[in-house]
Structure 1
Amino acid sequence: MHYIFQNKIKYITPFVAMLVLWGCGEEKPKEQQLADETVITVRLDSVKTASRSEPIRVAGAVASSEEARLSFKIGGIVSKVLVKEGQAVRKGQLLAVLDMTEIDAQVKQAAFAAEKSERDFQRVQNMLNDTAATLEQLQNARTGLDVNRQNLDIARFNQSFARIVSPIDGTVTRKQISEGEFVGPGSPGIVVTSSRRNDWVMRVNVSDKDWARLKIGDLAQVHLDAYPEEIFKGTISSLAQSADPVSKLYQAEIRIDPAGKRFATGLFGKVEISSSQSRTYAVVPVESIIEGNGNTGYVFVNENNKAKKIPVKIGYLDGNSVLISEGLENVKQVVTSGSAFLTDSVELRVKN
């Protein structure tokens, strides 16, 4: 028995030695193993293009197409505010008035100055006739009279604008002044919106690229939070010709058909505008998008056999494809298979 066991060892030992030698011969250098571990095998896919007339989606608030933003021309203390928010008013109705004490005094002061200038002019004219005054003195008196008459006109004009009067029939939608408050010239006072029906609009802000795609008459669908089950028809009625200096956005006005529903200024909603102009998008497989969040995401591209992460702006999904609106202008291929394992600058091995 002992002899048999020794014979088995004798035959097995050379075989094991061969395996060890074979394994040693196949073992790669450590540097090569590390290099293989940092190279990621990926598949590339071509970036295609497609033209789409994608709706422009924005949000805004309902307002009357005729809206009067009223204020005092001059500064002063508010004496009376005769209306409240939500109150119906008529054209020509007095809404608010300033304390007239100082304003009336300025008018009287200007009137006295004009009267004195009139007397001075008459006196110099009589003296000129008696050769007791010169022509230059008469001209100076005439100039003083004209100046003081103009000052009186200005004082009376300001006196007439020390009150706010509604220029239209409508509703007070905003009251931004209170009795006893000091207001400066042109400070926001009272907003009155027209009471005419079917004159409702939604004012929205769009980017320069979306503005370029729009034109007067483009159709829109309006979804209001107040009427979640309703879709209101709209038409673009005006487009701003200059951007807001702060937001850099352009205002578009959409006239809305209320379809018998009760509207009010300030109703919030979203709108989809059907642009008459198509737009070209870069089209990539959905699996190429990583870290997608809303309308932003990233893709990897092959740059000299290294991964490069690029931010993109997502237009919308179309089946198994993603339409990219920004970010892939000069890119011909993106990584699809293997993109989830990549980091910036990692080496790539492209699989055919």
Structure 2
Amino acid sequence: MTRTHSCLLVLACAAVTAACTTKVQADPGAGAPPDARVEPAPDSSSVKVAHPEQFATTQAQPYTSTPELAVTGVVTPDVSRNVPAVSLATGRVIEIHARLGDEVTKGQLLLKVRSTDIASAFSDYRKAAVNEQLTRTQLERARILFEKGALAAKDIEVAQSAENSAKVDVETATERLRLLGADPGNPSGVVDILAPISGIITDQQVTGGAGVQAFSGTNPFTISDMSRVWILCDVYENSLSSIRLGETADITLNAYPDKLIRGTISNIGAVLDPNIHTAKVRVEVPNPGRMMRVGMFVTATFRGRAGEPRAMVPATAILHLHDRDWVYVPQPGGLFRRVPVVGGKTLEGGMQEVLSGLAPGDRLITSALVLQNAVDQQ
């Protein structure tokens, strides 16, 4: 190779090198990433789905709701229908023919008591009967003597007075025996205690061989007429304004949930429990078939007089999620916004009451669960 050729080769290499250097300097950012663009995120309560027109919508309807208050109550006997089975004679129990919880009929034998009061009463009765017989005989003899002129008229009057007094003594002794429960025609130191009414024995304060005291504060038995009973409920003071005397209450039994009994509020306690600030509310209810037993738990539902405006929607429009109720409301641009509501009681025709969160006339998705499933699958 000649010297001329070598110079040309060097010049060509230098030209190529200069050209490459010039190109890199002309586009220094050719390999860098594009600038980042920040777009605002949609509302977290709003969702967007494909083909939003496939989800049917409905309109919240107006509904007038009657305020309700449901409280727990206990069945108790009606005290006006409680009758004690008392012993009018002091003595010792020798037989018991009934027990606590038994159903008895009027006149049924409950227990027998051996009493010295009965023995003393029979003694007085026999003495009075003998004295009455004697005074009658004396009166008859005095009348015979008076007719024969052997006796003065005043003696007849004295004999007649004595006979009248003897009759009073017999009548008094007889009445005393009857009050003690004894039969004057059947002398005995044992008295039978009978059921004064038909009903259920709801209290027993006597056992075999025990002593009973006449006219004491403790009665051997208490019988309750359970054809009507009381429901005693505890109502908090901030709910008392919705309860009024004479209004009705619906009673449902925990033991018989399919039974509904209607009662009347007969008393609202004037004194509150100082610990929990509740008042006793008494509801009088009939007891058909005596299915309500003393001590049973029931639920009493009180309803106010004035209605409150509410909204009602199909029950399928309410979605229960995370212990809350929601509905989906359509928005422009194919969006659906999830709105919290407070669901109420279930109504007829597959409808449900909405206590808050919606107003009558608001539009919402008919089936919230179907929309939620579509969102989850995206």
So what's the TM-score if we normalise by structure 2? 0.43
Structure with larger Rg: 2
